[in-house]
Amino acid sequence: MNCPKCNADLVKKYYKGMIEVDSCPNCRGMWLDFNELDKLEDVVFDDDTHKGSLVHFQSNTNFPCPQCGSGLEEFQYRLYDLKLDYCAENSHGFWLDAGEDERVMTFMRQRAADIQRKVDAETTWKQTLKEMHLFLVKKKK
Protein backbone atom coordinates (compact mmCIF):
# COMPACT_ATOMS: atom_id res chain seq x y z
CA MET A 1 0.00 0.00 0.00
CA ASN A 2 1.12 3.54 -0.66
CA CYS A 3 0.86 6.67 1.40
CA PRO A 4 -2.17 8.76 0.31
CA LYS A 5 -0.23 11.96 0.93
CA CYS A 6 3.23 11.33 -0.48
CA ASN A 7 2.96 7.97 -2.22
CA ALA A 8 5.81 6.28 -0.31
CA ASP A 9 5.44 2.59 0.58
CA LEU A 10 3.67 2.12 3.88
CA VAL A 11 5.34 0.00 6.54
CA LYS A 12 3.58 -2.12 9.16
CA LYS A 13 4.16 -0.95 12.67
CA TYR A 14 2.71 -1.88 16.03
CA TYR A 15 1.19 1.27 17.41
CA LYS A 16 1.56 1.89 21.14
CA GLY A 17 1.21 -1.81 21.83
CA MET A 18 -2.43 -1.66 20.75
CA ILE A 19 -2.94 -2.26 17.07
CA GLU A 20 -1.06 -2.72 13.86
CA VAL A 21 -0.97 0.33 11.62
CA ASP A 22 0.55 1.11 8.25
CA SER A 23 2.88 3.99 8.74
CA CYS A 24 4.66 6.17 6.22
CA PRO A 25 8.44 6.33 6.72
CA ASN A 26 8.54 9.50 4.68
CA CYS A 27 5.83 11.85 6.02
CA ARG A 28 5.21 9.92 9.28
CA GLY A 29 1.48 9.74 8.79
CA MET A 30 -0.36 6.50 9.45
CA TRP A 31 -3.25 4.48 8.16
CA LEU A 32 -5.55 2.78 10.66
CA ASP A 33 -7.65 0.12 9.09
CA PHE A 34 -11.06 -0.79 10.37
CA ASN A 35 -10.28 -4.45 10.92
CA GLU A 36 -7.54 -3.45 13.30
CA LEU A 37 -9.85 -1.01 15.03
CA ASP A 38 -12.30 -3.83 15.62
CA LYS A 39 -9.69 -5.30 17.94
CA LEU A 40 -10.22 -2.43 20.33
CA GLU A 41 -13.43 -4.06 21.51
CA ASP A 42 -12.38 -4.24 25.12
CA VAL A 43 -12.50 -0.47 25.38
CA VAL A 44 -14.93 0.91 27.91
CA PHE A 45 -16.31 4.32 27.12
CA ASP A 46 -15.95 7.28 29.33
CA ASP A 47 -19.39 8.96 29.48
CA ASP A 48 -17.93 12.40 28.87
CA THR A 49 -16.65 11.48 25.49
CA HIS A 50 -20.09 10.59 24.21
CA LYS A 51 -21.85 13.91 24.57
CA GLY A 52 -22.96 15.82 21.55
CA SER A 53 -21.99 15.52 17.98
CA LEU A 54 -18.27 15.08 17.94
CA VAL A 55 -17.65 14.49 14.31
CA HIS A 56 -18.35 16.89 11.50
CA PHE A 57 -18.00 16.05 7.91
CA GLN A 58 -16.13 18.48 5.86
CA SER A 59 -15.22 17.68 2.32
CA ASN A 60 -13.83 15.36 -0.25
CA THR A 61 -10.10 15.33 -0.81
CA ASN A 62 -7.95 14.17 -3.69
CA PHE A 63 -6.01 11.79 -1.49
CA PRO A 64 -6.57 8.14 -2.48
CA CYS A 65 -7.50 5.42 -0.02
CA PRO A 66 -4.42 3.15 0.18
CA GLN A 67 -6.69 0.11 -0.06
CA CYS A 68 -9.14 0.97 -2.83
CA GLY A 69 -7.91 4.22 -4.32
CA SER A 70 -11.20 6.08 -3.90
CA GLY A 71 -10.97 9.66 -2.67
CA LEU A 72 -10.68 10.09 1.06
CA GLU A 73 -13.14 12.34 2.81
CA GLU A 74 -11.95 14.74 5.42
CA PHE A 75 -13.77 15.10 8.69
CA GLN A 76 -13.24 17.06 11.81
CA TYR A 77 -13.20 15.57 15.25
CA ARG A 78 -14.53 18.51 17.19
CA LEU A 79 -13.39 17.67 20.68
CA TYR A 80 -9.76 17.79 19.67
CA ASP A 81 -10.00 20.14 16.73
CA LEU A 82 -8.47 17.38 14.72
CA LYS A 83 -8.82 16.80 11.00
CA LEU A 84 -8.70 13.26 9.72
CA ASP A 85 -9.22 11.62 6.35
CA TYR A 86 -11.19 8.44 5.95
CA CYS A 87 -12.36 6.08 3.23
CA ALA A 88 -15.99 7.11 2.80
CA GLU A 89 -16.54 4.80 -0.11
CA ASN A 90 -15.68 1.48 1.49
CA SER A 91 -14.94 2.27 5.14
CA HIS A 92 -11.45 0.87 4.91
CA GLY A 93 -10.00 3.02 7.63
CA PHE A 94 -8.67 6.44 8.33
CA TRP A 95 -5.55 8.45 7.94
CA LEU A 96 -3.73 10.45 10.59
CA ASP A 97 -1.10 12.96 9.58
CA ALA A 98 2.18 13.03 11.49
CA GLY A 99 1.81 14.34 15.00
CA GLU A 100 -1.98 14.34 15.05
CA ASP A 101 -2.10 11.43 17.46
CA GLU A 102 0.32 13.26 19.76
CA ARG A 103 -1.89 16.33 19.62
CA VAL A 104 -4.82 14.26 20.78
CA MET A 105 -2.74 12.81 23.62
CA THR A 106 -1.60 16.25 24.73
CA PHE A 107 -5.12 17.55 24.61
CA MET A 108 -6.37 14.64 26.67
CA ARG A 109 -3.68 15.10 29.29
CA GLN A 110 -4.60 18.76 29.66
CA ARG A 111 -8.25 17.93 29.92
CA ALA A 112 -7.56 15.29 32.57
CA ALA A 113 -5.60 17.87 34.55
CA ASP A 114 -8.42 20.42 34.20
CA ILE A 115 -11.03 18.14 35.64
CA GLN A 116 -8.54 16.89 38.21
CA ARG A 117 -8.99 13.33 37.34
CA LYS A 118 -6.36 10.81 36.67
CA VAL A 119 -6.77 9.59 33.13
CA ASP A 120 -4.58 7.20 31.33
CA ALA A 121 -3.87 8.96 28.05
CA GLU A 122 -3.47 5.73 26.13
CA THR A 123 -6.78 4.37 27.33
CA THR A 124 -8.47 7.60 26.35
CA TRP A 125 -6.80 7.52 22.97
CA LYS A 126 -8.09 4.00 22.48
CA GLN A 127 -11.57 5.24 23.33
CA THR A 128 -11.16 8.02 20.82
CA LEU A 129 -10.16 5.64 18.06
CA LYS A 130 -12.96 3.29 18.90
CA GLU A 131 -15.48 6.10 18.96
CA MET A 132 -14.44 7.37 15.55
CA HIS A 133 -14.55 3.84 14.27
CA LEU A 134 -18.07 3.23 15.58
CA PHE A 135 -19.24 6.53 14.21
CA LEU A 136 -17.98 5.78 10.73
CA VAL A 137 -19.32 2.25 10.78
CA LYS A 138 -22.73 3.54 11.84
CA LYS A 139 -22.72 6.15 9.13
CA LYS A 140 -22.01 3.47 6.59
CA LYS A 141 -25.02 1.35 7.51
Binding site residues, Zn ion, CB under 5 A: 3, 5-6, 8, 24, 26-27, 65, 67-68, 87, 90, 92
Smallest gap from Cβ 30 to Zn ion, in A, equals: 9
Q: Which residue number, 30 or 79, has a Cβ lying nearer to Zn ion?
A: 30
Using the CB atoms, write b or e for 105-121: b if 16+ within 10 Å. bebbeebeeeeeeebeb
Q: Which residue number, 28 or 111, has a Cβ lying nearer to Zn ion?
A: 28
Smallest gap from Cβ 106 to Zn ion, in A, equals: 22
Query: What phi and psi, each to the nearest 5 degrees, are found at residue 100?
Result: -70, -35
Q: Which residue number, 31 or 80, has a Cβ lying nearer to Zn ion?
A: 31
Q: Which residue number, 24 or 37, has a Cβ lying nearer to Zn ion?
A: 24
CB burial of residue 24 (10 Å; 0-12, 13-18, 19+): buried
Residues whose CB falls within 8 Å of the CB of residue 114, separated by 6 or more in sequence, listed in order: none
Tell me if 68 sits within 8 A of 89, measured CB to CB: yes
Tell me if 127 sits within 8 A of 105, measured CB to CB: no
Smallest gap from Cβ 81 to Zn ion, in A, equals: 22
Smallest gap from Cβ 38 to Zn ion, in A, equals: 16
